[in-house]
Amino acid sequence: MIAFEHVGKRYGGRFEALADINFRVERGEMLFLTGHSGAGKSSLLRLIMRLERPSRGRVLVAGHDLDRLHISQVPYYRRQIGVVFQDHQLLFDRDIFANVALPLTIQGVEPVDAGRRVRAALDKVGLLHRERALPIELSTGEQQRVGIARAVVNKPALLLADEPTGNLDPQLSADIMRLFEDFNRIGTTVLVASHDLALIARLRHRVLKLRDGRLVGDGEAA
């Protein structure tokens, strides 16, 4: 599903955010990406989302060589990936339903079909009853769950999460992680960047560990 081959990323020709990263992720895997802030987690995710291009090496995702992807193809590539942001990135000028429906709107899915899928996604994160609410009326944990519903509403093959539990208490964090495991169980490849080591240790999944832009660990638990 994901392959990094000798990937390096420099910013401004000086700062080396990532150096010689090599790993593969199989379809249907669930894994964590850990490391201190500044270790390169976000850079790695940005490469997968094709927000940036590597300075060296190749990134392959779902059969695409991201460096060869034409600029006009990038939006269509991104539609195959669901992304959960630390600050959830909900749009506050529209309600929960419209927020979750956003990826489907972008893809031009039939309204009736879209409505059904939005409800299924909201049901999955336990917020079906709040579809009319505005994001501002929800708690932080609920907002994050809406963000997850939006990320999975178009059934992406790959789900990325960047510090999804960064602002949540341990109980809510565990709930969120359980959601990710549920999606993984139905075949979605899940990659979660997190520095919540205690939580990760309990979950027993593969862990990629970054330190100063280098991959220093690849295996179960940290």
Partner 1 sequence: MSERQSTGVSRRGAQKPTSRASGGGRAWLRHHRAMMSDSALRLVRRPISTLLTMLAIAIALILPAGLWLALDSARLVDAELDESATLTVYFDAGVDESRAMSLAAEVGEQSGVAGTRLVTAAEGLAEFQQTLGVEDALSQLDANPLPASVVVTPDDTDPAAVQSLSQRLQTLDGVDEVRLDLAWLDRLQQLAALGQRVALALALLFGLGVLLVVGNTVRLAVESRRQEIEVVTLIGATHAFVRRPFLYSGAWYGLGGGVLALVMLVVGGNWLASPVAALAESYGAQFALPSLGASHSAFLLLFSTLLGWLGAWLAVGRHLADIKPR
For partner 1, the binding residues (CB under 8 A) are 46, 49, 51-52, 72, 75-79, 83, 89, 91, 93-95, 97-98, 101-116, 118-119, 131, 150
> Given the complex with partner 1, which of 150 and 168 has the nearer CB atom?
150
* Shortest distance, position 124 Cβ to partner 1, whole Å: 16
Q: How far apart are alpha carbons 4 and 210 in whole angstroms?
A: 14
Measured from the CB atom, the residue of 45 and 215 that comes closer to partner 1 is 45
How many C-beta atoms surround the C-beta of residue 175 within 10 A? 16
**Identity of the residue, 151 or 200, whose beta carbon is nearer to partner 1 in the bound complex:** 151
22 or 89, CB closer to partner 1? 89
Smallest distance from the beta carbon of 61 to partner 1, in angstroms?
14
Between 24 and 92, CB nearer to partner 1: 92
Query: Cα 173 vs. chain centroid, distance in angstroms?
Result: 15
Instruction: Quickly list DSSP for 137-189.
Output: GS-HHHHHHHHHHHHHTT--SEEEEESTTTTS-HHHHHHHHHHHHHHHHTT-E
CB-based contact 158:2 (threshold 8 Å): yes
- Residues 173/165, Cβ–Cβ less than 8 Å: yes
Q: What whole-number distance in Å separates Cα of residue 198 and Cα of residue 146?
A: 25
How near is the Cβ of 213 to partner 1 at its closest, in Å?
20
Angle CA 183–98–138, to nearest 5: 75
The nearest distance, CB 19 to partner 1, in angstroms, is 22
CB nearer partner 1, residue 6 or residue 116 = 116
At 214, which helix (H) or strand (E)? strand 214-220
- Looking at residue 170, its amino acid is P
Instruction: State the minimum distance, in angstroms, from the CB of residue 211 to partner 1.
Output: 25
Task: State the minimum distance, in angstroms, from the CB of residue 118 to partner 1.
Answer: 7
3-state secondary structure of 93: coil
